[in-house]
Amino acid sequence: MNPVVIASANGHLYRNGGRETCVERAFRLMTEGVDALEAVVAGVTIVELDPTETSVGVGGLPNADGVVQLDACCIHGPRRRAGAVAALEGVPVAAAVAHRVLLDTPHQLLAGSGAQEFARACGFDVRSDLLTPRSRGLWLEWKRRVDARAPSDPRQRMVVGYAVGLDMSREGLIDANHLWGTITCSALAPDGALCGATTTSGLAWKLPGRVGDSPVLGAGLYARDGVGAAGSTGRGESTLFALSSYQIVDAMRRGVHPKDAALEALRELRSAATAEPALLNARGEPNFNVKFYALNAAGETAGVALYGGAGVSYAVCTENGAELRLCEALIDERDQFVD
């Protein structure tokens, strides 16, 4: 069995001052005999602790109140076990906490203060604040713009807040990929084991308590031993509604290639988005992006996106090393930000 690791692009863009990226560390550890899920969690931890990455962990873009709330999930194919945390505050390594939920409890998902207390009991450092000067400054700019445009009604502020986030993406103040920011990473081990992890700070400036797809098994992450694994980044509500990661893995179970399975999930998501006018641009297309990353038991990989382009890529690491590959796009990239 030829081992392989696949991840969202940030899995091969950040090193947190070290020599390895997420996919490089996960591949090295896995091929040295470390359990595949432990290797994947060690890989995404690099990204969670890198303060220059604003979509996960330390320096993740916060919720509307300026608080970083993290979601994460991990799954171990051979054990048929998963663990997750949601709305976790103060602990940047959310994937590692999710891994302990898998290992140490009979449960699958812990949330809020309960997840934080569980992390503390497991010996994780609980910080008072995960903001960096950069992420705090971006939140203050977002808040200034929302305060200037929105009434006090929380529902209206939510609508205006998302529109301001899109504006800041168009202006380049934040990476468009980080408005809905996440890292997902899946691995096929030398022994054929399939494992994965997804971790995120979620939608930038989200309604406090909002939980996306990342900690929900079958939505932001899924794996089935002997079949494949899939993870997602982007607007979590879309993949929650469709249980897209499960859908992709189930298609691979029926023999569909990872790319075709992932593109079909995007087509379904694109169609469902038309039910919400606020989520459409002037062309009637989704005004957000979603990407899927799929890996089958034969080691075939794919990365697909609603909107592609030169910077829309995914990471892969094999025995030949790590590289970024362009995602296959479903919709012309020029159609995303159309007023």
Q: Which positions are annotated as active-site residues?
A: 182
Q: Are 197 and 72 in contact (CB under 8 A)?
A: yes
- Spell out where the chain has E strands: 4-8, 70-76, 81-88, 109-111, 180-188, 194-203, 221-224, 228-234, 290-296, 301-307, 313-318, 321-326, 328-331
Tell me the residue type at 263: L
DSSP letter for each residue of 261-323: HHHHHHHHHHHHHTT-GGGB-TTSSBSS-EEEEEEETTS-EEEEEEE--TT-EEEEEETTEEE
163: number of Cβ within 10 Å: 16
**β-bridge mates for residue 230, sequence order:** 222, 294
DSSP 217: B
CA of residue 107 relative to chain centroid, distance: 22
Q: Are 252 and 227 in contact (CB under 8 A)?
A: yes
109, two tokens: 């998902």
- Report how far residue 275's alpha carbon sits from residue 7's, in angstroms, rounded to the nearest whole number: 30
Strands 328-331 and 301-307, by their bridges, are: parallel
